[in-house]
């Protein structure tokens, strides 16, 4: 019972902090807006992808991007807490490290999924057709994608001491995962070299983006994998990352 | 008397350095126990072990009857901690910080609100409770941390340098709260400090710590009595010669030069004053001023270690960094 309340309070903290950061919420509207309106419109006239125009195709990819970037960024809160001391308050509390990790991780995942929700709103705003029911079908998949990604961010952050060093994640993890996920271009395009295909298959986000496209675009999308395969890969990825993350938090001082 | 804390050859090494060296102390229920020593003496390391944040290299301790190594969860439930460095979430309000703490420590939901209102009243922060803590001053943050340490009714409250970096007025405030706590609650308080006056005014008993060892342990009054007498402070134009003369002619062994004066501890200081001036004048030393005072804990520390508590400047740096950190936040 104590563990459950500890979990709840840590989860609530992450969510409260998210809603208090007004600047971030505004900027999280603006970025996908740029991608979908400028990038999306620009490429729309470079050709169709099956029956889809590029903007429609890009939309689930940008959700994937937002989930990835937000999830990774959440690690920063761990460094922040270490730097400003609140981590000590959490670590000496009489609750287990598993609870601490899960509370923070699921709190951060909730924030990331909220960020994904914002993209749905932006999409609706610029005239991409989205069924509200589609959103509710996509929500659990969005969470499934974020659990593993947030765990990576938290794990890396638990080893780091300064906010500055966290910046390397942007170049060494975020961008490669983003570019290799098929968020921006179809991985099935003729002529895409073998190495790129292989690399993208090793990227968990590829399965996430594919699952989101299957749910959001429906019949118009030719999936890379069946939905259940995508979900199984994501689930396995989450389990592994959560185990690693819990271990990382157990050894944190 | 009932022992709330007992350590058994408690030791902690950091690589080659022995931070805490076979510590054997016990703290009685209901007392304010002070660990006094320069920065780097091992005070914080000792507290960290008692709070189960650090594992001892060897030896162990019992807090509230629970072993710090084997029963760390029970120990954590029995204690409250106010860390040397700030440990609040400044993006949350004071009240939210307190609610988080109550939940982390399993305070029953039905009691959370009233307990939080009570501790807020104790530290006089009711008016600011719903403001974000980033708008609090350093002293207010410290008071909220004190309040937070009490919500789960700990048996022992650990205060690590509770007034480090606070202005004198706020220090007085914090001292007042600590005394009130002891009087009104069934609680034992262990505090570390390198402020002599703080230890003197607050503590029932003081352990003077240096290089990981306890070098003296008693009530402040008894510690000062061990010096047997008065401290005489002489300002003169030739300190080295004067100090040597005092040893040679008057047979006083512990003359030392501090801050441009000669200090010497002796029995019957009053009757010795004329003789010191006499010896100085006979040897053509001009005495600018001479004063007499009661010994303080600084003298006690000097007596046992041969150093002033601030002598070692490299050790002092850590303390200043902590002050700087607190000010920035």
* Chain B residues close to A88, C-beta within 8 Å: 53, 83, 85, 87
- Binding-face residues of A in 85-124 toward B, CB within 8 A: 85-95
pLDDT confidence tier of residue B303, bands split at 50, 70 and 90: confident
Tens of pLDDT, residues B73-127? 899 999 999 998 889 999 999 999 999 999 999 999 999 999 999 889 888 899 9
* Chain B residues close to A6, C-beta within 8 Å: 103-104, 106
Q: What pLDDT score was predicted for residue B315? A: 43
Q: What pLDDT score was predicted for residue B313? A: 41
- Chain B CB within 8 Å of residue A253 CB: yes
B49, two tokens: 């072990």
User: Is A92–B52 a contact, with Cβ atoms under 8 angstroms apart?
Assistant: yes
Q: Which of A17, A86, A253 sits opposite B88 (nearest CB)?
A: A86
Domain extent, residue A198, equals 2-250
Q: Which of B106, B131, B133, B164 to mutate to test the interface with A (most CBs of A within 10 A)?
A: B106
Tens of pLDDT, residues B249-282? 888 877 888 878 888 888 877 888 888 888 888 8
Tens of pLDDT, residues A150-193? 999 999 999 888 888 887 877 789 999 999 999 999 888 888 89
Is B57 within 8 Å of B17 (Cβ atoms)? no
Is B123 within 8 Å of B144 (Cβ atoms)? yes
Q: What pLDDT score was predicted for residue A191? A: 86
Average pLDDT (B18-33) is: 92
pLDDT confidence tier of residue B293, bands split at 50, 70 and 90: confident
Interatomic CA distance for residues B34 and B220, integer angstroms: 10
* Chain B residues close to A253, C-beta within 8 Å: 53-54
Q: Which of A1, A4, A5, A14 to mutate to test the interface with B (most CBs of B within 10 A)?
A: A5
Q: Which of B89, B103, B148 sits opposite A5 (nearest CB)?
A: B103
- Chain B CB within 8 Å of residue A8 CB: yes
Mean pLDDT, rounded, of chain A: 91
Q: What pLDDT score was predicted for residue B310? A: 60
Q: Which of B51, B90, B104 sits opposite A95 (nearest CB)?
A: B104
- Chain B CB within 8 Å of residue A23 CB: no
Which residue in chain B is spatially nearest to A9 when comparing CA positions?
Answer: B100
Q: What pLDDT score was predicted for residue B32? A: 93
User: Is A9–B99 a contact, with Cβ atoms under 8 angstroms apart?
Assistant: yes
**What is the Rg, in whole angstroms, of the alpha carbon atoms belonging to chain A?**
18
Q: Which of B52, B87, B99 sits opposite A86 (nearest CB)?
A: B87
User: Is A13–B100 a contact, with Cβ atoms under 8 angstroms apart?
Assistant: yes
Is B159 within 8 Å of B178 (Cβ atoms)? yes
CB pairs under 8 A between A and B: 67
CB-hemisphere CA count at 13 Å for A217? Answer: 24
Say how far residue B154 (Cα) sits from the centre of its chain.
20
User: Is B103–A84 a contact, with Cβ atoms under 8 angstroms apart?
Assistant: no
Q: What pLDDT score was predicted for residue B206? A: 93
Domains and CATH numbers, chain B: 3-224 (3.40.50.300), 231-294 (3.30.70)
pLDDT, greater one: B66 or B309:
B66
User: Is B90–A84 a contact, with Cβ atoms under 8 angstroms apart?
Assistant: yes
Tens of pLDDT, residues A185-216? 988 888 889 999 999 999 999 999 999 999 99
* Chain B residues close to A107, C-beta within 8 Å: none
Q: What pLDDT score was predicted for residue B312? A: 47
Q: Nearest C-alpha of chain B: how many angstroms from A238?
A: 26
User: Is B88–A5 a contact, with Cβ atoms under 8 angstroms apart?
Assistant: no
- The strands making up B213-218's β-sheet, listed across from edge to edge, are B79-82, B156-160, B188-193, B32-36, B205-210, B213-218
pLDDT confidence tier of residue B134, bands split at 50, 70 and 90: very high
Number of compact structural domains in chain A: 1
Backbone angles phi, psi at B122, to 5 degrees: -55, -45
Which residue in chain A is spatially nearest to B76 when comparing CA positions?
Answer: A94
User: Is B105–A86 a contact, with Cβ atoms under 8 angstroms apart?
Assistant: no
pLDDT at residue B311 is higher than 70: no
ipTM for the assembly: 0.88
Average pLDDT (B34-59) is: 90
Q: Nearest C-alpha of chain A: how many angstroms from B91?
A: 7
pLDDT at residue B316 is higher than 50: no
Mean pLDDT, rounded, of chain B: 86
Q: Nearest C-alpha of chain B: how many angstroms from A165?
A: 20
């Amino acid at each position: 019972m104590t563990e459950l309340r500890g979990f709840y309070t840590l989860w609530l903290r992450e969510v409260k902090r998210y809603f208090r950061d007004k600047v971030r919420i505004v900027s999280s509207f603006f970025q996908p807006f740029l991608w979908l309106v400028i990038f999306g419109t620009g490429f729309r006239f470079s050709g169709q992808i099956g029956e889809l125009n590029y903007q429609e195709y890009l939309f689930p990819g940008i959700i994937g991007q937002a989930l990835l970037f937000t999830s990774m960024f959440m690690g920063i809160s761990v460094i922040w807490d270490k730097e400003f001391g609140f981590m000590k308050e959490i670590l000496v509390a009489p609750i287990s490290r598993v609870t601490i990790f899960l509370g923070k991780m699921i709190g951060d995942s909730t924030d990331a999924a909220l960020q994904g929700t914002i993209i749905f709103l932006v999409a609706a705003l610029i005239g991409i057709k989205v069924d509200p029911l589609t959103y509710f079908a996509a929500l659990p998949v969005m969470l499934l994608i974020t659990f593993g990604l947030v765990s990576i961010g938290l794990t890396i952050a638990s080893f780091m001491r300064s906010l500055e060093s966290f910046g390397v994640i942007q170049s060494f993890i975020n961008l490669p995962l983003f570019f290799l996920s098929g968020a921006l271009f179809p991985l099935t395009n003729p002529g895409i070299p073998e190495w790129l295909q292989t690399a993208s298959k090793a990227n968990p986000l590829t399965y996430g983006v594919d699952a989101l496209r299957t749910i959001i675009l429906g019949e118009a999308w030719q999936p890379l994998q069946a939905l259940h395969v995508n979900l199984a890969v994501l689930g396995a990825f989450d389990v592994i990352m959560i185990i690693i993350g819990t271990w990382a938090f157990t050894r944190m001082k | 008397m009932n022992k709330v804390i007992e350590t058994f050859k408690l030791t902690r090494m950091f690589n080659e350095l022995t931070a805490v060296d076979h510590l054997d102390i016990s703290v009685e229920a209901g007392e304010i126990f002070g660990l006094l020593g320069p920065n780097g003496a091992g005070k914080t390391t000792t507290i960290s072990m008692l709070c189960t944040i650090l594992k001892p290299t060897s030896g162990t301790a019992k807090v509230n009857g629970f072993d710090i190594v084997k029963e760390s969860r029970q120990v954590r439930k029995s204690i409250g901690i106010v860390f040397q460095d700030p440990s609040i979430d400044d993006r949350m309000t004071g009240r939210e910080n307190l609610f988080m703490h109550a939940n982390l420590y399993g305070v029953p939901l039905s009691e959370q609100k009233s307990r939080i209102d009570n501790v807020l009243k104790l530290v006089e922060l009711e008016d600011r409770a719903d403001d974000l803590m980033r708008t609090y001053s350093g002293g207010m943050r410290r008071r909220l941390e004190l309040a937070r340490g009490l919500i789960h009714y700990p048996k022992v409250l650990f205060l690590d340098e509770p007034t480090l970096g606070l202005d004198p007025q706020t220090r007085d405030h914090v001292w007042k709260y600590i005394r009130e706590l002891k009087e009104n609650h069934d609680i034992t308080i262990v505090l570390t400090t390198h402020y002599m006056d703080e230890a003197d005014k607050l503590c029932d008993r003081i352990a003077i710590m240096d290089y990981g060892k306890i070098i003296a342990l008693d009530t402040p009054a008894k510690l000062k009595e061990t010096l047997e007498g008065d401290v005489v402070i002489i300002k003169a134009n030739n300190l080295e010669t004067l100090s040597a003369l005092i040893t040679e002619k008057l047979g006083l062994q512990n003359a030392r030069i501090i801050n441009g004066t000669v200090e010497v501890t002796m029995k019957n200081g009053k009757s010795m004053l004329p003789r010191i001036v006499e010896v100085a004048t006979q040897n053509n030393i001009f005495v600018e001023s001479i004063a007499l005072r009661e010994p303080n804990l600084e003298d006690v520390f000097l007596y046992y270690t041969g150093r002033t508590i601030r002598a070692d400047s490299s050790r002092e740096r850590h303390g200043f960094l902590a002050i700087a950190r607190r000010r920035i936040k």
